[in-house]
């Protein structure tokens, strides 16, 4: 039976979720407006669904000024971790040093983002560390390496320094009209970068623990932060990623350069590991695919096979 109030429902976007409450910004409202505090209707629990930050929803306002989330509008994308919907740009933030950039972890992040079907850009933070100090040579080498490997396969690379304010204006422009997520290892400066992009934001940041060599988690919940005409989802920092709902046969399609070549392989369903007539292995031999990318692909393949065996 249709809800008699459904035609009176208003539309808005969930900009924050915390302790069972959803904060909904009415559609068309200024991004600095105060969102409506809502609870979700019990129907979602029965269906095994849950509203997510980023969702466009239908909601109604109760007499006390609070509201109820009544329906979730169709999503264009959904991430499980961090739990956020309708992201249309992923900004993978990795520091050039402190903590040291790990290309295997970068490829793992890219694998998950490609699997989710979300366009990605790379942001190398702490660029100022490449300009002086004991790690300068190593930091410059890392920047050159990232550009050499990832720009030819279509990933934009942005260099930023939150401390010096360098590169932030170019990144700010790139974020306009997008609902973006910042993802990356803890301690790479995601919160500092957001503070540099949005003056006065003052997200809590923690310095790297020199003993552990990694940052403390400074972000406690998912929240959309207005960045001009765009949003950035400030999400918990994490350094471990599990292969969730990713099949072995899907792995190759998440590596752009291998996906493009796979049609030229001799055998259908080629794993690009050992088969004769493999276009990917030929490109690797000719130097047209980065050795690190194929090495990580093979590692992820082995990890997936091992996981499949265990279950």
Domain holding 11: CATH number?
Answer: 2.40.50.140
Tell whether 203 and 95 lie within a shared domain.
Answer: yes
pLDDT of residue 112: 86
Q: What average pLDDT does the segment 57-81 reach?
A: 90
**Which range is least confidently modeled, 28-32, 174-178, 211-215, 262-266?**
211-215
Tell whether 96 and 212 lie within a shared domain.
Answer: yes
pLDDT of residue 5: 42
Of 210 and 92, the one with more pLDDT = 92
- 234 secondary structure, DSSP code: E
**Which range is least confidently modeled, 34-38, 39-43, 200-204?**
200-204
Q: Which among 175, 44, 122, 89 has a CA at the least distance from the CA of 17?
A: 44
Tell whether 113 and 221 lie within a shared domain.
Answer: yes
Decide which of 51, 73, 95 is a domain's last residue: 73
Kindly provide the b/e burial profile for residues 134-165, where b requires at least 16 CB atoms within 10 angstroms of the residue's own CB. Answer: ebeeebeebbeebeebbeeeebeebbbbbeee
Q: How far apart are CA 108 and CA 106, in angstroms?
A: 5
pLDDT of residue 211: 35
Tell whether 106 and 225 lie within a shared domain.
Answer: yes
Decide which of 48, 73, 98 is a domain's last residue: 73
Binding site listing for Zn(2+): 265, 270, 272, 278
Task: Identify whether 242 is part of a domain.
Answer: no
Which residue bears the tokens 């265990």? 310
Phi, psi (degrees; rounded to nearest 5) at 241: -130, 135
Task: Identify whether 240 is part of a domain.
Answer: no
CATH number, domain containing residue 175: 3.40.50.300
- Give the relative orientation of helices 103-115 and 291-310 as an angle to the nearest 10 degrees: 70
Of 298 and 249, the one with more pLDDT = 298
Task: Identify whether 239 is part of a domain.
Answer: no
Task: Identify whether 185 is part of a domain.
Answer: yes
Residue 238 banded pLDDT, cuts 50, 70, 90: very low
Tell whether 202 and 65 lie within a shared domain.
Answer: no
Q: What average pLDDT does the segment 136-155 reach?
A: 91
Tell whether 105 and 200 lie within a shared domain.
Answer: yes
In terms of residue numbers, what domain contains 167?
84-234
Q: How far apart are CA 120 and CA 151, in angstroms?
A: 12
If you count them, how many residues does the chain have? Answer: 311
Tell whether 46 and 129 lie within a shared domain.
Answer: no
Task: Identify whether 184 is part of a domain.
Answer: yes
pLDDT of residue 244: 58
Name every residue whose Cβ is closer than 8 Å to that of residue 116 and which is 6 or more positions away in sequence: 77, 78, 79, 87, 90
Decide which of 49, 73, 97 is a domain's last residue: 73
CATH number, domain containing residue 264: 1.10.40.50
pLDDT of residue 262: 92
Task: Identify whether 28 is part of a domain.
Answer: yes
Q: Is the pLDDT assigned to residue 69 strictly greater than 90?
A: yes
Tell whether 49 and 174 lie within a shared domain.
Answer: no
Tell whether 91 and 166 lie within a shared domain.
Answer: yes
Task: Identify whether 107 is part of a domain.
Answer: yes
Task: Identify whether 41 is part of a domain.
Answer: yes
**Which range is least confidently modeled, 71-80, 134-143, 177-186, 222-231?**
134-143
Q: Is the pLDDT assigned to residue 14 strictly greater than 90?
A: yes
Residue 311 banded pLDDT, cuts 50, 70, 90: low
Tell whether 147 and 40 lie within a shared domain.
Answer: no
Binding site listing for GTP: 125-128, 184-192
pLDDT of residue 219: 44
Average pLDDT across the chain, whole number: 84
Tell whether 58 and 95 lie within a shared domain.
Answer: no
Residue 269, CA distances (Å) to 90, 104, 281, 297 in order: 29, 24, 14, 15
Q: For the chain, how many structural domains are there in total?
A: 3
pLDDT of residue 242: 59
Residue 130 banded pLDDT, cuts 50, 70, 90: low
Q: What average pLDDT does the segment 20-29 reach?
A: 93
pLDDT of residue 1: 40
Tell whether 230 and 269 lie within a shared domain.
Answer: no
160-200: pLDDT as tens digits: 887 777 889 999 999 999 999 888 777 777 778 888 888 87
Binding site listing: 125-128, 184-192, 265, 270, 272, 278
* For the chain, percent of residues with pLDDT exceeding 70: 85
């Amino acid at each position: 039976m249709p809800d008699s109030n459904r035609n009176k429902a208003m539309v808005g976007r969930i900009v924050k979720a915390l302790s069972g409450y959803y904060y909904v910004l009415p559609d068309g409202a200024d991004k600095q407006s105060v969102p409506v505090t809502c609870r979700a209707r019990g129907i979602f629990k029965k269906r095994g669904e849950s509203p997510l930050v980023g969702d466009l929803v239908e909601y109604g306002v109760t007499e006390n000024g609070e509201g109820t989330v009544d329906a979730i509008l169709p999503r264009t994308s959904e991430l499980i971790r961090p739990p956020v919907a309708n992201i249309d740009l992923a900004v993978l933030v990795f520091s050039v040093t402190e903590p040291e950039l790990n290309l295997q972890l970068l490829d793992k992040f890219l694998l998950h983002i490609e699997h989710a079907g979300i366009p990605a850009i790379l942001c190398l933070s702490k660029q100022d560390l490449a300009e002086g100090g004991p790690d300068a040579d190593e930091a410059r080498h890392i920047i050159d390496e990232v550009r050499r490997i990832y720009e030819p396969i279509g990933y934009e690379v942005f260099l930023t320094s939150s401390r010096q304010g360098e590169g932030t204006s170019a990144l700010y422009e790139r974020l306009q009209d997008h609902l973006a997520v910042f993802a990356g290892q803890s301690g790479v400066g995601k919160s500092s970068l957001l503070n540099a992009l949005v003056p006065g934001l003052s997200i809590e940041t923690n310095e790297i623990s020199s003993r552990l060599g990694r940052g403390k988690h400074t972000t406690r919940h998912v929240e959309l932060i207005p960045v001009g005409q765009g949003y950035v989802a400030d999400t918990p920092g994490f350094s471990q990623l599990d292969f969730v709902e990713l099949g072995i046969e899907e792995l190759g399609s998440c590596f752009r350069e291998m996906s493009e070549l796979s049609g030229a392989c001799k055998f259908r369903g080629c794993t690009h590991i050992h088969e004769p007539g493999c276009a990917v292995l030929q490109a690797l031999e000719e130097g047209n695919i980065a050795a690190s990318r194929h090495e990580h692909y093979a590692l992820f393949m082995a990890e997936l096979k091992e996981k499949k065996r265990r279950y």
